[in-house]
Amino acid sequence: MHNKTITELAQGLRAKEFSSVELTQHFLNRVNKHADLNAFITVTADLALQAAQLADVRIAKGEAGLLTGIPMAHKDIFCTQDVKTTCGSKMLDNFIAPYNATVVDKLNAVGVVNLGKLNMDEFAMGSSNETSFYGTVKNPWNKNAVAGGSSGGSAAAVAAKLAVCVTGTDTGGSIRQPAAFCGVSGIKPTYGRVSRFGMIAYASSLDQGGSMARSAEDCAILLQSMAGFDAKDSTSVDTPVPDYCVDLNKPLTGLKIGLPKEFFTSDLNADMAATLQTAIEEYKKLGAEFKEVSMPNLKYAIPAYYVIASAECSSNLSRYDGVRFGYRCENPADLNDLYTRSRGEAFGKEVKRRILMGTYALSSGYYDAYYLKAQQVRRLISEDFKNVLSEVDVIFSPVTPTPAFNIGEKTANPIEMYLADIYTIAINLAGLPAISIPAGFINEMPVGLQLIGNYFDEARLLNVAHVYQNTTDWHKQSPT
- Structure confidence by residue, pLDDT tens digits, 172-191: 999 999 999 999 999 999 99
Above 90 in pLDDT, residue 15? yes
Summarize the confidence of residues 294-322 as an average pLDDT.
96
Instruction: Output the pLDDT for position 44.
Output: 98
**128 has catalytic annotation:** no
Architecture, CATH, for domain 1-480: Alpha-Beta Complex (3.90)
User: In percent, how much of the chain has pLDDT > 90?
Assistant: 96
**19 has catalytic annotation:** no
- Grade residue 480 by pLDDT with cuts at 50, 70 and 90: confident
State the Cα–Cα distance between residues 87 and 205, nearest whole angstrom. 18
CA distances to 50, 80, 105, 244, 416 from 45, rounded to whole Å, are 9, 14, 19, 31, 39
Above 90 in pLDDT, residue 397? yes
Other C-beta atoms closer than 10 Å to the C-beta of 402 total: 16
List, for residues 20-39, the tens digit of each pLDDT value: 999 999 999 999 999 999 99
Instruction: Output the pLDDT for position 153.
Output: 98
The answer for residues whose C-beta is within 8 angstroms of residue 185's C-beta and 6 or more apart is 179, 212, 213, 214, 215, 216, 218, 219, 435, 436, 437, 438, 465, 469, 475
State the Cα–Cα distance between residues 112 and 165, nearest whole angstrom. 10
Instruction: Output the pLDDT for position 32.
Output: 98
The answer for residues whose C-beta is within 8 angstroms of residue 76's C-beta and 6 or more apart is 41, 42, 85, 86, 87, 88, 117, 118, 119, 120, 153
Instruction: Output the pLDDT for position 219.
Output: 98
| Residue 111 falls in which region: left (phi positive, over 0), alpha (psi -120 to 50) or beta | left
Domain map (residue ranges) of the chain: 1-480
Instruction: Output the pLDDT for position 479.
Output: 95
Which position among 75, 90, 138, 410 bears the catalytic label?
75
Angle between the 373-389 and 301-316 helix axes, to the nearest 10 degrees?
A: 120
Nearest to 204, CA basis, from 316, 92, 354: 316
Summarize the confidence of residues 224-248 as an average pLDDT.
97
Summarize the confidence of residues 112-123 as an average pLDDT.
98
**205 has catalytic annotation:** no
CA distances to 52, 69, 124, 166, 375 from 107, rounded to whole Å, are 13, 11, 22, 11, 35
Cβ burial, residue 44 (10 Å; 0-12/13-18/19+) = buried
Above 90 in pLDDT, residue 70? yes
Above 90 in pLDDT, residue 386? yes
Which position among 89, 132, 151, 174 bears the catalytic label?
174
List, for residues 460-475, the tens digit of each pLDDT value: 999 999 999 999 999 9
| DSSP single-letter state for residue 242 | P
Helix (H, G, I), strand (E, B) or coil at 205: coil
Nearest to 448, CA basis, from 401, 398, 394, 404: 398
Instruction: Output the pLDDT for position 381.
Output: 98
Instruction: Output the pLDDT for position 364.
Output: 86
Above 90 in pLDDT, residue 76? yes
State the Cα–Cα distance between residues 124 and 105, nearest whole angstrom. 22
| DSSP single-letter state for residue 78 | B
Above 90 in pLDDT, residue 238? yes
Residues 32, 138, 1, 249: is their CA dihedral positive or negative?
Answer: positive
Above 90 in pLDDT, residue 3? yes
List, for residues 186-208, the tens digit of each pLDDT value: 999 999 999 999 999 999 999 99
CA distances to 1, 73, 394 from 420, rounded to whole Å, are 35, 26, 23
List, for residues 408-459, the tens digit of each pLDDT value: 999 998 888 988 899 999 999 999 999 999 999 999 999 999 999 999 999 9
State the Cα–Cα distance between residues 243 and 190, nearest whole angstrom. 16
Above 90 in pLDDT, residue 255? yes
State the Cα–Cα distance between residues 267 and 252, nearest whole angstrom. 30
Instruction: Output the pLDDT for position 420.
Output: 86
Summarize the confidence of residues 114-126 as an average pLDDT.
98
- The C-alpha angle 396, 400, 402, rounded to 5 degrees, equals 125
Q: Which helix (H) or strand (E) holds 469?
A: helix 458-471
| DSSP single-letter state for residue 209 | E
Which position among 150, 151, 342, 436 bears the catalytic label?
150
